[in-house]
Amino acid sequence: MNIPANRLDRAFLMHQSEYEEAALRVLRSGYYVLGNEVARFEEEFAAYIGTPYCVGLASGLDALWMAFRILNIGSGDEVIVQANAYIACVMGITMNGAHPIFVEPDRYHNIDVDRIEAAITEKTKAILAVHLYGQASDMEAIVRIAEKHKLYVIEDCAQSHGAGQNGQKMGTFGHIGCFSFYPSKNLGAFGDAGAVVGNSAEIAEAFRIYRNYGSKNRYYNAVIGTNSRLDEIQAALLRIRLSHLDELNRERQSLCERYLKELKHPDLELPSINTGSGCDTVWHQFVIRVSNREKLMEHLRARNISTAIHYPVSPHRQEAYRGLGYQKGEFPVAEAYADTVLSLPLFPGMTDKEQSYVIAAVNQWEKPL
Ligand SMILES: *Cc1c(COP(=O)(O)O)cnc(C)c1O
């Protein structure tokens, strides 16, 4: 058996005729950018998340950097972000000339809320909360801190479509919720796509203007914007995927519950969920921790099982951010995660047989001394 870390075709095959019908509808319509499908998707996604506004964009990174730009956060400003974030989170900050201030993650791989206040200075303008691997951050605590210090809260929900805290979905707690619909995400398009959600009509309008060269009325440009438009085909396909999102997330959940129950190996640390704070997860990834990670990967690779590492290098240790001047050891929790995390194969459409094969292979691993 050959098991890749992810198989994007499986979710397509589950609802193939619906996707094909939607794509053909757009091809035949004569409207390809910012038309009816985008408007309908924006309404439907806003309703799903629970905000009045959604604005479709070209990618998750665009959602992030435009969020800081629209909030006027740039040179001389600081943004707090967890030290084990995905690189796009940090690029969204630095593309605006703002400075990322890293905070160690907690045991759930989200920002450690107990360490946020120590990182706040008079230059701090915002907290970027990244709901990593599908798990909701403790947004109630983050919002309390932000309100006390008068900071913006931006949520990176690129891995957490549908995750919530005490019944309220991620993306609705902060000022702007940023989403990616990159194909591998829980709500995945068939190409690049993204969106922002929020409660402010003013901010939504700013994104609408900004995504289209800064123009509200065609060829009259109020601000120096960009081109970040969600196209009609992706929007039409996303509407189909959104209508199945809860069932796809439930499938991820049952796969992960089985992993949690049946993976039995003394040297693996299995993921845990912050239920004490009312947080849930939509299981974007099933991330275990293991020392000797390379050996386990090799053992699995020899059995045609692929795994992935999200992520092998924390942003403060990336070559791109050498200029920030961080040394090894400055964020030991994040660095330990980077050295030990491993994502097991997980995708809607994974069969019982495939999962049994992975579980048996992991459980049989003889960890080298
Ligand atoms: C995927 C991802 C992004 C970037 O989204 P793109 O659509 O690839 O630009 C940002 N943040 C996180 C946490 C992600 O997983």
Q: State pLDDT tens for residues 141-156.
A: 999 999 999 999 999 9
Which amino acid, residue 327? Q
What are the structural domain ranges in the chain? 9-243, 245-363
Distance of alpha carbon 235 from alpha carbon 152, whole angstroms: 29
Q: What is the pLDDT of residue 368?
A: 72
Protein residue closest via CA to atom 5 of ligand 1: 60
Calculate how far, in angstroms, residue 368's C-alpha sits from the geometric centre of ligand 1: 35
Superfamily of domain 245-363: Aspartate Aminotransferase, domain 1 (3.90.1150.10)
Q: What is the pTM of this model?
A: 0.97
Angle at alpha carbon of residue 20, lines to 56 and 28, rounded to 5°: 75
Convert the pLDDT of each residue in 282-300 to its tens digit. 999 999 999 999 999 999 9
Write down the CATH number for the domain with range 9-243: 3.40.640.10
Does ligand 1 lie within 6 Å of residue 88's CB atom? Answer: yes
Closest residue by Cα to atom 4, ligand 1, is: 60
Question: pLDDT value at position 87?
Answer: 98
Ligand 1 centroid to residue 256 C-alpha, Å: 22
Q: Which amino acid residue places its CA nearest to atom 14 of ligand 1? A: 158
Probe ligand 1: pick from 59, 182, 285, max atoms within 8 Å of CB?
182
Integer distance in angstroms from the first to the last C-alpha of the chain? 28
Q: Parallel, antiparallel, or unpaired: how do β-strands 215-217 and 220-221 relate?
A: antiparallel
According to the model, what pLDDT value does residue 369 have?
66
Please list the ranges in the chain whose pLDDT falls under 50: none
Considering only CA atoms, which residue is closest to atom 12 of ligand 1? 158
